[in-house]
A and B are shown apart, each in its own frame.
Chain A
Amino acid sequence: MLRRKFSEILLLISLVLALTAFGFAAAAVSKSGQNVTIQSSTLHGDVRAADGLTMTVHHNYENTLYWDTTLSCFDPSHVTSSCRYVPNGISHFGPAQPPLSLVFGEYPLNLLPDGLQAAADAQAEALAKSAGQSSCVYTKLHSHEAYYTPLVRLSHPDCLFSAERADSPDSSTLLDTDFTDYFKIPTLPDEQVELRFSVLDGKPTLTSVQTSSNCDHYAPHTFSAAASDAIYFCIGSRSQQGQLLNFDQLPEGYGIFSVPLVPSETEGQKRLASEQLDMIYGLNPQITILDLQLTPDQSQLLLLTEESDACYLTVLDLPTGAPVQRTALNPADAVYLWPGTDYLVLRFQSPDRLAVYSKAADGSYSMDFICDIPDDALPLYANGTATAYDGHRLAIGWSGFWYQSLSMEQLAEWYVAVYTADGESYWGGYDSSFAQECIPMSYYQIELSLN
């Protein structure tokens, strides 16, 4: 009897000890994962130039674990970090994609325009009669389609298409008839389409349709910016070989377009109200669009264009699209811009330079300073770059995501540079404790603030 009691007590003691130790162990493991540590290296200049500069970076692992880490760029040992668990969270990898793109020259097989479908059917029939093998047939797009049929591709976390829609080949792409009807752009006479057939079950079957890259074709870049209630966008006006497209049949001509985002039937999601597609600011198709950005407070749209005589910065008031400022830039070789809360940064090339413009009370911008980027600096990219400006110092932060060709010793997770009117004062590389892990974390955003 005593031995049985002893067994009972032994089990209960073991259980209490094991569960207590289990609790402590789980807490210790959990705590170890919360704290992100940062290592920095000064690549150029004096780190004291980064005094007061704070960087916030976000990591995620498998769209499940999300870390927010804030550090002082001057003294990276001052780090605060927190970790959140979000099952099936939002996917982020690399710098953000444009919120909306019009895709020309891609033809999902289930959404082929009627003319191309008829051409493909006729070709399949001809191949069947000749008992042909797998083949690739080129045909002039203009012979079958008078106008382009652009697909709408969205990269907006709150706006997904239903994968069940017949007109949506995936959750981010849509063949929207409102867009197709609005963007009536005549096809280029020489553009060719490649129809690929494979023999399946003894019958020639269409396997892919796409624009041939061997001839001149229209595949413009879309510049887009998403506000909370609308997406603003414009598209390039020239073909790959510089031929000007005809935009006369667009309802209001060529320019900057807006499409409202309205609440969707799915809670927390928004719908692209393509039936309210509109043009907010007209442009001459002869110009070249370099960049289109929205200010952080979403009150202005900033347009950078290259025209016959110079580069122009155009500031538009939102949501009206009324022009606030249109100014020719000097120097005239701007390539892109980064808007801030009350400033904007312009990047010039040949030679590489950065200019900071301060915003006046009337919403217009005037240049504070322009400085050279050192020749040995890593190239800056438009996408995924963060800026901060305190009236004297301009801080720029960007990800090492772009520099996959660099060796591991040279590659940092992020870089931060500080510029003044005298040029570059500091350039440093920063690595988080995640960078030492063999499977790198997904990075998706950097924020900077200067105090």
Chain B
Amino acid sequence: MKQHRSVFSLMVHSALVPVLLVLLGMIAAEMVAFRLAFGQGAVPLEVVWSHSRISWIFSAALVVLTLVLCRTGCRGSSTPRYTLERLSISRKACFGWQALANGLFLLLFWAVQTLTAVLLCFAFQQKAAAPFVTHQSVFLAFFRSPFLHTLLPFQDWLVWLSNGVTLLALAICSARFPLSQQNGHKFQETYLVLLVAVLTRNHGIHQVSPCVLTVLVCSALILFALHQVFFWEEEPNEKG
């Protein structure tokens, strides 16, 4: 068990600083973009969100974060790879611990992004010109702005499901990345999950199709990745 804990610690330790840097960079960029779009505050909140292009910053940050998580355990990042190879623990177990660590990092990323969005909304509510803001503006913005609705969909359970499956797919596929790289596989499903996550991230209300598409594609990629890890890719000692 101690060895398993060591693997998890190693995964977390090797990715923590880059992840925190990505988060800080994203928050800073979003604050600047929101301030620029805010101008004199003479537009509704959802229009500020739309003009700020924060959803692009979010997408860029998600791509960088996922690539950082993919890098953990790769040959290029020598320290964790070397340590992992010295531990007598199976690759499948390593994959499991890395998927858990990646999932926690992605959850942190989502929570931080949502918190940043809520705080920027409340800042708007404090500063905006009176005709464009009421005490309900922030709540309504989370239904009027597709980006905000995707982050915090309230009772829109299909969007919650879509978000959850996307994060799970990113965690699992990014954890398989080092394994497939070692096995020389050219197809990296992580890129496909990222593409789906970026292209279908803005679920406005009543947008059932993108949610269903995201859930279906991501579920299929999760199954593919798990099948590859548990039934297809071989342990080094099995290769003989």
Q: Which residues of A contact B (CB under 8 A)?
A: 3-5, 7-8, 10-12, 14-15, 18-19, 21-22, 25-26, 28-30, 32-37, 61-62, 64-65, 85, 87-88, 433-434, 436-439
Are B206 and A439 in contact (CB-based, < 8 A)?
no
Are A438 and B44 in contact (CB-based, < 8 A)?
yes
Are A11 and B105 in contact (CB-based, < 8 A)?
yes
Are B137 and A437 in contact (CB-based, < 8 A)?
yes
Are B111 and A29 in contact (CB-based, < 8 A)?
no
Which residues does chain A contribute within 8 Å of B144, judged by CB atoms? 439
B residues 1-44 near A (Cβ < 8 Å) are 6, 8-10, 12-13, 16, 44
A15-B104, A85-B155, A88-B206 as given contacts; A8 in contact with B8, CB under 8 Å: yes
Q: For the complex, count residues of B whose C-beta is within 8 A of A.
A: 39
Are B143 and A64 in contact (CB-based, < 8 A)?
yes
Are B9 and A8 in contact (CB-based, < 8 A)?
yes
Q: Which residues of B contact A (CB under 8 A)?
A: 6, 8-10, 12-13, 16, 44, 101, 104-105, 107-108, 111-112, 114-115, 118-119, 121, 131-140, 142-144, 152, 154-156, 205-206
A14-B108, A64-B205 as given contacts; A32 in contact with B135, CB under 8 Å: yes
Are A3 and B139 in contact (CB-based, < 8 A)?
no
Interface of A is mostly: helix
Contact pick for B12, options A8, A21, A32, A37, CB 8 Å:
A8
Are A4 and B139 in contact (CB-based, < 8 A)?
no
A11-B108, A15-B104, A29-B139 as given contacts; A437 in contact with B134, CB under 8 Å: yes
5 A-B pairs (CB sep. < 8 Å): A5-B9, A11-B104, A25-B115, A61-B143, A88-B206
Are B44 and A18 in contact (CB-based, < 8 A)?
no
A11-B104, A19-B107 as given contacts; A33 in contact with B9, CB under 8 Å: no
For B156, the closest partner residue in chain A by CB is A87
Contact pick for B138, options A11, A22, A32, CB 8 Å:
A32
Which residues does chain B contribute within 8 Å of A3, judged by CB atoms? 13
Which residues does chain B contribute within 8 Å of A61, judged by CB atoms? 140, 143
For A5, the closest partner residue in chain B by CB is B9
Among A8, A19, A88, the most chain B Cβ lie within 10 Å of the Cβ of A8
Which residues does chain A contribute within 8 Å of B111, judged by CB atoms? 15, 18-19, 21-22
Give the docked Cα–Cα distance between A154 and B108 (Å): 51
Are B136 and A32 in contact (CB-based, < 8 A)?
yes
Are B136 and A4 in contact (CB-based, < 8 A)?
no
Are B136 and A64 in contact (CB-based, < 8 A)?
no
Which residues does chain B contribute within 8 Å of A4, judged by CB atoms? 6, 9-10, 12-13
Min CB distance, B160 to chain A, in Å? 12
Give the docked Cα–Cα distance between A34 and B140 (Å): 10
Contact pick for A438, options B10, B132, B154, B206, CB 8 Å:
B132
Min CB distance, A76 to chain B, in Å? 15
A3-B13, A10-B16 as given contacts; A33 in contact with B105, CB under 8 Å: no
Q: Which 4 A-B pairs have the closest CB atoms?
A: A33-B139, A18-B111, A7-B13, A4-B9
Min CB distance, B17 to chain A, in Å? 8
Give the docked Cα–Cα distance between A101 and B152 (Å): 43
Are A434 and B136 in contact (CB-based, < 8 A)?
yes
Which residues does chain A contribute within 8 Å of B10, judged by CB atoms? 4
